[in-house]
C-alpha cells in the first residue's frame, strides 16, 4: 500500500498531466463529433459578456458600411413592395415565405473564419426563442446554422465549417447538392453532388433548396466561380459567396413555424 | 512563490488571455495564420515555481482560450503538454543547473532564449494544429500552419518580451 502511495506521490506531475491531457483530448473528440462541443463553448455568460463588450467598441468602426447595407436592403424591400402586384420569383423575403418563416435580428459578437471548423457567436439566445438548427442569413445571403444556444447567446456553425452540409440548388434548374467547405478560401465554398446532366455555367446563381426544414427555398448563396467533373459523374462546383464571411455584423435568424410538423411527418415515413 | 509573484502571474494570466481572444485570434494573416502569444504565461512562469501548479494553470489557461474560440479542448491539450515538458526543455536550453543559478529569461544569452522559445512554440503549435485538424490526410496543412503560425508567434513573443523587459526584472 505504502509503495502505491509513494508511487503516486513520486509521479504526481506525470499523472496530473495524463489526466488533464485525457480530459482535453475527450473535449477535442467531442468537438469533432456531429453536434459538437456542448461542454466548452463561447455561449456561456463569461465569454459572451467579454465578446459583447469588445464588439460594442469595434462596432463603431464599420457603422458607415452597416448603414449602407441597411439602405440597400431597404431599397430592395421598397422595390419589392412597389412591385408586389407582379409575382416576383425567388425574392428573399417573398410573401409566401413569410407565412411559414419568422425572422429575428441579431448582432455578431465573435466571428472566426481562419480555422477548419469555424463558429460565429451572436448576442441572442433561447431567451429570444432561438433554438438549435435554425438557419442564419444576412441581407446578402447565407451564413450558417445555429448549433448551440444559451440564455443570452447562441453559436452558429458557419458555412465555413468542414462539418456543414447545407442543401443548395442551381437557380435556373432544380438540381441540388450539398454545400461543403474545403478550408482553402473563406470566400469560396464547394457545392458537391450536382448531377452531370445539370446545365452549369460560370456566373450562375446558387440558392438554398427547399429540401430542408431549416432554410426557406430561394435564399441567395453565391455564384459559380469554377466547376470540375468528379469520378462519380457529378460536378463539384466552387461557389463564390455573396456574403463576405470575414466581415459580418447584423444577421437574421430564421424560425420555421412548421418545423415540428415536417419533422414529425418525416419520422412517420421512416417508421413505415 | 512570494505574494508579488502571485500577483504578477495572475495579472499576466488574464491580460494574455484577453489579448489572445480579443486581438490575436482575429488577425488571420493570409487567411489562416494567427499568432498564439498567450503561452508567454507558461514561458515566464517562475522557473523555480511549483511544477504541479504550472500544469494545472496551463490547463486552465488553455481551457479558457478554448472556451472563447469554440475549439473543444485543443488549446488545453497543447498547453498541458508544454506545461508538463517545460522542466525538460529548460534543462535542455539552459543547462542542468538552471534551477540553482536562479536563471531569468531576460538574463540568459539571446541564443539560449531563442532556442527555449522556439522549442516551446513548435511543440505547442504542432499539438494544437494536429488536434484541431484531426486528420492524417491533412498532414501538410498541419505542418504548414505549425510553421507559419510558429514563426509569427515566436517573433511576437520576442517583441513582447523585449517591450516588457524592465517590468519583468
Nearest CB neighbour to A21, from listed B25, B81, B133: B81
Q: What is the CATH number of the domain that holds A90?
A: 2.40.10.340
DSSP calls for B70-108: T-TTHHHHHHHHHHHHHHHHHHHHH-GGGGTTT--TTTS
Residue B84 at interface with chain A, using a CB cutoff of 8 Å: yes
Residue B41: domain span: 3-168
Total Cβ atoms within 10 A of residue B84? 21
Q: How far is A121 from chain B (nearest CA, A)?
A: 9
Q: What is the pLDDT of residue B154?
A: 93
Strands (E), chain A: 101-111, 117-122, 135-137, 142-149, 154-161, 166-170, 176-180, 188-195, 205-208, 220-229, 234-241, 250-256
Same structural domain for residues A119 and A191? no
pLDDT-above-90 percentage for chain A: 2
Degrees (nearest 5) of the Cα angle A235, A237, A241?
A: 160
All cell numbers assigned to A134: 435554425
How confident is the model over A42-60, as a mean pLDDT?
Answer: 79
In this prediction, the answer to ipTM > 0.90 reads: no
Is B131:A28 a contact under the CB 8 Å cutoff? Answer: yes
With bands split at pLDDT 50, 70 and 90, how would you rate the model's confidence at B34?
confident
Q: CA A253 from chain center: how many Å? A: 10
Q: Is residue A15 in some structural domain?
A: no
Q: Using an 8 Å CB-CB cutoff, list chain B residues near A161.
A: none
Residue in chain A closest to B131 (alpha carbons) equals A28
All cell numbers assigned to A261: 410538423
Q: Is residue A85 in some structural domain?
A: yes
Same structural domain for residues A131 and A252? yes
- List own/partner pairs for A25-30 with CB under 8 A and 24 or more apart: A25/B73, A25/B77, A25/B131, A26/B73, A27/B66, A27/B72, A27/B73, A27/B76, A28/B71, A28/B72, A28/B73, A28/B74, A28/B77, A28/B131, A28/B134, A29/B72, A30/B72
Residue A182 at interface with chain B, using a CB cutoff of 8 Å: no
Q: Is residue A40 in some structural domain?
A: no
Q: Using an 8 Å CB-CB cutoff, list chain A residues near B62.
A: 24
Greater model confidence, A260 or A146 = A146
Q: How much of chain B is in helix, strand and coil states, percent to nearest 5?
A: 80, 0, 20
Instruction: Give the gyration radius of chain A's Cα atoms.
Output: 22
Q: Using an 8 Å CB-CB cutoff, list chain B residues near A22.
A: none
Is A218:A168 a contact under the CB 8 Å cutoff? Answer: no
Q: Using an 8 Å CB-CB cutoff, list chain B residues near A185.
A: 31
Same structural domain for residues A49 and A71? yes
All cell numbers assigned to A29: 473528440
CA dist., res. B50 & res. B59, Å (int) = 15
* B123 pLDDT higher than 90: yes
Q: Is residue A19 in some structural domain?
A: no
pLDDT averaged over every residue in chain B: 85
Torsions phi, psi for A115 (to 5 deg): -105, -175
Same structural domain for residues A148 and A254? yes
Of B79, B81, B78, the residue nearest B131 (C-alpha): B78
pLDDT averaged over every residue in chain A: 81
Nearest CB neighbour to B70, from listed A16, A42, A54: A42
Q: What is the CATH number of the domain that holds A237?
A: 2.40.10.350
Nearest CB neighbour to B71, from listed A23, A25, A31: A31
Of B139, B153, B122, the residue nearest B27 (C-alpha): B153
Same structural domain for residues A119 and A155? yes
Most confident of A38-42, A77-81, A103-107, B95-99: A103-107
CA dist., res. A42 & res. B71, Å (int) = 9
* A34 pLDDT higher than 70: no
Torsions phi, psi for A158 (to 5 deg): -80, 165
Q: How many domains are contained in chain B?
A: 1
Torsions phi, psi for A111 (to 5 deg): -135, 120
Q: How many domains are contained in chain A?
A: 2
**Exposed / middle / buried, residue B10 (Cβ in 10 Å: 0-12, 13-18, 19+):** exposed
With bands split at pLDDT 50, 70 and 90, how would you rate the model's confidence at B169?
very low
3-state secondary structure (DSSP) of residue B33: strand
* B99 pLDDT higher than 70: no
pLDDT-above-70 percentage for chain B: 92
What DSSP state is assigned to residue A127?
A: G
Same structural domain for residues A210 and A90? no
CA dist., res. B32 & res. A186, Å (int) = 9
Q: How far is A177 from chain B (nearest CA, A)?
A: 24
Q: What is the pLDDT of residue B121?
A: 93
Same structural domain for residues A72 and A57? yes
Lowest mean pLDDT among A40-54, A164-178, A258-272, B132-146: A258-272
Residue B30 at interface with chain A, using a CB cutoff of 8 Å: no
Residue A105: domain span: 45-162+245-258
Most confident of A36-40, A51-55, B72-76: B72-76
With bands split at pLDDT 50, 70 and 90, how would you rate the model's confidence at A35?
low
Greater model confidence, B109 or B52 = B52
Torsions phi, psi for A269 (to 5 deg): -60, -45
Same structural domain for residues A94 and A170? no
Q: Using an 8 Å CB-CB cutoff, list chain B residues near A24.
A: 59, 62-63, 73-74, 76-77, 80
Of A162, A166, A144, A164, the residue nearest A245 (C-alpha): A144
Same structural domain for residues A142 and A65? yes
Which tens digits make up the pLDDT trace of A198-225? 888 888 888 888 777 788 888 888 888 8
CA dist., res. B53 & res. B75, Å (int) = 18
Same structural domain for residues A137 and A74? yes
Degrees (nearest 5) of the Cα angle B133, B82, B19?
A: 75
* A101 pLDDT higher than 90: no
Cα distances (angstroms) measured from residue B75 to each of B18, B80, B81, B166: 15, 8, 10, 29
Same structural domain for residues A252 and A232? no
Same structural domain for residues A174 and A222? yes
Torsions phi, psi for B137 (to 5 deg): -70, -15
Contacts of residue A65, Cβ cutoff 8 Å, sequence gap at least 6: A247
Amino acid at each position: 500500500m505504502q509503495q502505491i502511495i509513494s508511487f503516486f506521490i513520486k509521479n504526481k506531475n506525470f499523472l496530473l498531466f495524463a489526466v488533464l491531457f485525457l480530459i482535453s483530448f475527450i473535449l477535442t473528440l467531442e468537438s469533432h463529433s456531429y453536434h459538437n462541443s456542448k461542454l466548452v463553448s463561447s455561449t456561456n455568460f463569461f465569454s459572451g459578456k467579454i465578446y459583447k463588450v469588445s464588439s460594442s467598441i469595434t462596432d463603431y468602426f464599420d457603422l458607415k458600411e452597416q448603414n449602407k447595407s441597411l439602405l440597400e436592403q431597404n431599397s430592395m424591400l421598397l422595390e419589392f413592395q412597389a412591385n408586389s402586384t407582379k409575382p416576383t420569383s425567388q425574392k428573399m423575403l417573398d410573401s409566401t415565405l413569410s407565412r411559414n418563416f419568422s425572422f429575428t435580428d441579431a448582432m455578431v459578437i465573435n466571428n472566426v473564419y481562419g480555422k477548419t471548423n469555424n463558429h460565429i457567436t451572436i448576442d441572442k439566445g433561447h431567451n429570444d426563442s432561438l433554438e438549435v438548427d435554425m438557419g442564419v442569413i444576412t441581407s446578402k445571403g447565407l451564413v450558417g446554422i445555429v448549433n448551440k444556444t444559451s440564455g443570452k447567446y447562441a453559436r452558429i456553425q458557419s458555412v465555413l465549417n468542414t462539418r456543414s452540409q447545407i442543401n443548395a440548388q442551381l437557380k435556373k434548374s432544380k438540381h441540388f447538392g450539398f454545400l461543403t467547405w474545403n478550408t482553402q478560401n473563406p470566400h469560396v465554398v464547394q457545392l458537391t453532388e450536382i448531377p452531370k446532366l445539370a446545365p452549369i455555367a460560370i456566373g450562375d446563381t446558387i440558392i438554398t433548396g427547399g429540401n430542408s426544414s431549416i432554410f426557406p427555398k430561394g435564399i441567395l448563396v453565391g455564384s459559380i466561380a469554377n466547376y470540375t467533373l468528379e469520378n462519380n459523374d457529378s460536378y463539384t462546383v466552387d461557389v463564390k459567396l455573396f456574403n463576405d464571411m470575414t466581415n459580418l455584423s447584423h444577421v437574421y435568424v430564421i424560425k420555421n413555424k412548421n418545423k415540428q410538423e415536417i419533422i414529425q411527418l418525416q419520422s412517420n415515413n421512416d417508421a413505415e | 512563490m512570494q505574494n508579488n509573484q502571485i500577483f504578477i502571474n495572475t495579472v499576466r494570466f488574464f491580460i494574455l488571455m484577453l489579448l489572445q481572444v480579443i486581438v490575436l485570434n482575429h488577425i488571420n494573416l493570409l487567411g489562416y495564420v494567427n499568432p498564439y502569444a498567450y503561452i508567454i504565461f507558461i514561458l515566464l512562469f517562475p522557473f523555480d515555481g511549483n511544477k504541479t501548479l504550472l500544469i494545472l494553470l496551463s490547463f486552465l489557461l488553455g481551457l479558457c482560450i478554448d472556451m472563447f474560440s469554440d475549439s473543444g479542448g485543443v488549446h488545453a491539450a497543447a498547453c498541458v503538454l508544454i506545461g508538463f515538458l517545460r522542466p525538460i526543455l529548460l534543462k535542455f536550453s539552459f543547462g542542468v543547473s538552471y534551477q540553482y543559478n536562479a536563471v531569468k529569461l531576460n538574463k540568459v544569452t539571446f541564443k539560449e532564449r531563442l532556442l527555449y522559445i522556439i522549442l516551446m512554440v513548435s511543440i505547442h503549435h504542432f499539438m494544437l494544429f494536429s488536434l484541431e485538424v484531426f486528420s492524417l490526410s491533412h498532414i501538410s496543412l498541419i505542418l504548414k500552419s505549425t510553421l507559419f503560425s510558429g514563426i509569427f508567434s515566436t517573433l511576437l513573443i520576442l517583441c513582447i518580451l523585449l517591450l516588457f523587459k524592465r517590468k519583468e526584472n
